[in-house]
Amino acid sequence: MTQKLYLQWQQCKARNPGLLLQLAGLARELKLSGHSRYSMDGLFHILRWETRATTGDLGLKINNNHTAFAARDLMDQFPDLDGFFKTREQKARGNYGQLH
């Protein structure tokens, strides 16, 4: 199951090349307003709302099952966000698992 979700997450990022930058921007805004931690689930909901408000359609389509992958990707790619999201240890299975 995890491998399938990971592959779906990779496809989601490919379809939405600015997704991680958008999530990082939201996380940084929250950090600046005093949050030391926040949930990726919350960021997904905020981003869906914001894209719905700006595009006039149903907004960005991102699966709630991808929050763990998104949190790890953000913390890996943006050092200033390291530790901003709480993650559980993920057991590596093959070459797609990441430990954080």
Is a pLDDT exceeding 70 seen at residue 97? no
Task: Using alpha carbons, select from 65, 76, 66, 67 the residue that is nearest to residue 98.
Answer: 76
How far is it, in rounded angstroms, from Cα 45 to Cα 64? 9
Is a pLDDT exceeding 50 seen at residue 5? yes
Q: Determine which helix (DSSP H) or strand (DSSP E) holds 14, and give its type and residue range.
A: helix 2-15
Return the domain boundaries, the chain.
Answer: 2-81
pTM: 0.81
Tell me the mean pLDDT in the region 30-55.
88
Residues 6+ apart with CB under 8 A from 39: 67, 85
Average pLDDT taken over every residue of the chain: 85
Tokens 């999530």 belong to 23
Tell me the mean pLDDT in the region 80-89.
90
Q: Give me the pLDDT at residue 44, please.
A: 93
Q: Give me the pLDDT at residue 59, please.
A: 59
Tokens of 81: 């966000």
